[in-house]
Amino acid sequence: MSTQERGSAAASGAARTEAGEGARVPRPLWVEEPAAKWRMPDAVRTAAVRAVLIMSVTIIQAMVAFLSTLTGSWLAFPMVLSSVASTVVATWAVLDVWVTRQVWNQRNGVVSVPSSTARRIRRERRRSRRAERAAERDGTGGGIGGRHSPGGLSRA
């Protein structure tokens, strides 16, 4: 069965079902599914795009250097030198992606589980600060500016 025959058979079958069952809603071409991973942060994505562009230019330069070396062109030596320099820059760009990702994770993406030691220490510090502030408010820590006199003004 050729493609044209299959198309006409499907069209006639579709016409039969529409005539028999009434108007059917066409099946969508695709179904949207939620993304399995979160989107990369903007800074990391920018560094990754920059690294991919630099790496692609480096690969093109290496191919031109290789092909011009095979043909014995005068362009071979400058292209080899620029390919070496581009390789260093591409390595730096890939490291930049890694460092940017690490910095972003440290600043914004700290994943803290309930048993985390850092979370427990922060909670204890918060409790002690609240206790200190409450003690100052109750009068045990002194009045305004540390000058609390028993016969002074009352607090409002």
Q: How far, CA to CA in Å, does 91 sit from each of 25, 100, 112, 137?
A: 53, 14, 32, 58
Gap between the Cα atoms of 156 and 84, Å rounded: 75
Say what the pLDDT of residue 145 is: 53
Say what the pLDDT of residue 40 is: 82
Q: How far, CA to CA in Å, does 95 sit from each of 44, 100, 102, 127, 143?
A: 11, 8, 11, 41, 55
pLDDT at 116 over 90: no
pLDDT in tens, 49-102: 999 999 999 999 999 999 999 999 999 999 999 999 999 999 999 999 999 999
Question: Who has greater pLDDT, 132 or 14?
Answer: 132
pTM: 0.49
pLDDT at 6 over 60: no
Q: Percentage of residues in the chain with pLDDT exceeding 90? A: 44
How sure is the predictor about 123, in pLDDT bands with cuts at 50, 70 and 90? confident
How sure is the predictor about 45, in pLDDT bands with cuts at 50, 70 and 90? very high
CA trace torsion 152, 154, 155, 156 (10° rounding)? -140
